[in-house]
Amino acid sequence: MKYHLLTTAALCAVFSFGLSSCKKSSNLPAAAAAGDLETVQDMIEDGADVNAKEDKLGGTAVVEAATAGKTDVVKALIAAGADLTIKDKKGEVATIRAARNGHTDTVKALLAVGMDANATAMNGAPALLPAAWNGHTETVKALLAGKAHADAQDVNGNTAITFAARQKHTETVKALLEGGASINSADVTGCTALIYAAGNGDTATVNALIEAGADLNLQELNGRTALIMAAEKGHAEVVKSLMDAKADTTLKNKSGYNALVVALMAGKKDMAQNMLQAGATVTPAEVESFISLLTARKYSGIAEQLKSIGVDLSAKGEDGKSALMIADEKGHKGAAEALKAAGAAE
């Protein structure tokens, strides 16, 4: 070991590189990532390339320092002329890396010297999106103050507010709303922040969005509203919040089922009963369709379950037809038998 150290020193001396040359060959991005300000400053003084990249993702020293939240190192590199526009292999600049990890002070330092808060990575996402996804509320606020576009989208149409809602970050959602984010923006699936929050059973975020005026009845690509999504997942508190806010209970998904029927299909009998008591309705045609479907799938007792939660199996729709009449007309013998067994009349 001693021989190796002596040999290294000797080589530096023999070839007149000296100590400074040994420092030049060191890894500036690694030192920056470690937050070793003294070493970074020494390397800069010795002529190290301030824009040298590390090998794995191709981040420069300032990008690596920003990733680790080493604000003092970031400032030193900026003072030394680091190029803040250089991107890594994913197209990310220092602000995006810092924002993802919630390094608010670093983000502020970068914005203060003119970095674009809306610079995007290869996936089209600016710093605001990863900050929102990870629930870094203060970082989100700093970016919005730095003129970040509140409704910026990545290539999949994701916005910061849909990202925050998907991850149950209520305070981040509120910060985005205060910063001007569109409350009803949807991604490529058609899901809004409210639909995501409802599907997650995130009552706090659902309530915040309701209070802020979110459209309760928007439907994603499969026709599910926030209420249908919550009913499908069995999130009783969210269902109650949406029902109290007068969400439309008659809207149907692509399969033709409203939230009440979806709750029953999911086996959420108590929830369905509560929905009925709160004003949800189910038409005779929906009753027939529901029973026909489940009878075909060899379920039993469906009509009795409907009856037990308060559905009038003999009720007639606007066309004057009851569920039993509809079943007879369609030739759905199983549904007709189930309705009759439960006491339904034409």
Mean pLDDT, range 249-257, rounded to an integer: 93
**Burial of 322 by CB count in 10 Å (0-12 exposed, 13-18 middle, 19+ buried)?**
buried
Does one domain contain both 299 and 346?
yes
Calculate what percentage of the chain has a pLDDT beyond 90: 81
**Dihedral sign, Cα of residue 68, residue 73, residue 78, residue 83:** negative
Measure the CA–CA gap between 275 and 269, rounded to whole angstroms: 10
**Res 346 pLDDT > 70:** yes
Is residue 265 within 8 A of residue 245, CB to CB? The reply is no
- Whether 196 is covered by a domain: the verdict is yes
Among 18-22, 36-40, 223-227, the range scoring the smallest mean pLDDT is 18-22
Measure the CA–CA gap between 120 and 92, rounded to whole angstroms: 7
Residues in the chain: 346
What values do phi and psi take at 100, rounded to 5?
-60, -35
Q: Which of 256, 281, 306 is the C-terminal boundary of a domain?
A: 281
Is residue 290 within 8 A of residue 257, CB to CB? The reply is yes
Interval 308-343: pLDDT, tens: 889 999 999 999 999 999 999 999 999 999 999 999
- Whether 83 is covered by a domain: the verdict is no
pLDDT grade for 1, boundaries at 50, 70 and 90: very low
Interval 38-85: pLDDT, tens: 999 999 999 999 999 998 999 999 999 999 999 999 999 999 999 999
Distance of CA 56 to the CA centre of its chain: 28
Q: What is the pLDDT at residue 26?
A: 59
Q: Using the 8-state DSSP alphabet, how is residue 30 labeled?
A: H
pLDDT grade for 157, boundaries at 50, 70 and 90: very high
CATH of the domain at 204: 1.25.40.20
**Res 175 pLDDT > 70:** yes
- Whether 153 is covered by a domain: the verdict is no
- Whether 268 is covered by a domain: the verdict is yes
Q: What is the pLDDT at residue 9?
A: 37
Q: Using the 8-state DSSP alphabet, how is residue 260 labeled?
A: H
Number of domains in the chain: 2
Task: Please choose, from the candidates 179, 184, 140, 144, the residue with its C-alpha nearest in 3D space to the C-alpha of residue 162.
Answer: 184
Measure the CA–CA gap between 162 and 16, rounded to whole angstroms: 59
Residue found by looking up tokens 């379920």 in the block: 299
Measure the CA–CA gap between 151 and 159, rounded to whole angstroms: 6
**Res 173 pLDDT > 90:** yes
Does one domain contain both 275 and 315?
no
Most confident segment among 201-205, 294-298, 308-312, 336-340: 201-205
What values do phi and psi take at 302, rounded to 5?
-65, -45
Cβ atoms within 10 Å of 163's Cβ, excluding its own: 26
Does one domain contain both 255 and 193?
yes
- Whether 257 is covered by a domain: the verdict is yes
**Res 15 pLDDT > 60:** no
Q: Which of 239, 266, 281 is the C-terminal boundary of a domain?
A: 281
Does one domain contain both 277 and 293?
no
Task: Please choose, from the candidates 144, 184, 145, 178, the residue with its C-alpha nearest in 3D space to the C-alpha of residue 165.
Answer: 184
pLDDT grade for 297, boundaries at 50, 70 and 90: confident
Does one domain contain both 256 and 294?
no
Measure the CA–CA gap between 201 and 235, rounded to whole angstroms: 5
Q: Which amino acid is at 255?
A: S
Distances from the Cα of 254 to the Cα of 27, 222, 223, angstroms: 57, 5, 5
Mean pLDDT, range 149-161, rounded to an integer: 96
Higher confidence at residue 2 or residue 167? 167
- Whether 339 is covered by a domain: the verdict is yes
Q: What is the pLDDT at residue 234?
A: 95
Does one domain contain both 270 and 302?
no
- Whether 164 is covered by a domain: the verdict is no
Q: What is the pLDDT at residue 319?
A: 95
- Whether 71 is covered by a domain: the verdict is no
Q: Using the 8-state DSSP alphabet, how is residue 316 labeled?
A: B
What does pLDDT average to over the chain? 91
pLDDT grade for 121, boundaries at 50, 70 and 90: very high
pLDDT grade for 264, boundaries at 50, 70 and 90: confident
Interval 237-249: pLDDT, tens: 999 999 999 999 9
Q: What is the pLDDT at residue 294?
A: 84
Is residue 285 within 8 A of residue 250, CB to CB? The reply is no
The CA-to-CA distance between both ends of the chain, in Å, stands at: 97
Which range marks the domain in which residue 325 is found? 284-346
Q: What is the pLDDT at residue 32?
A: 97
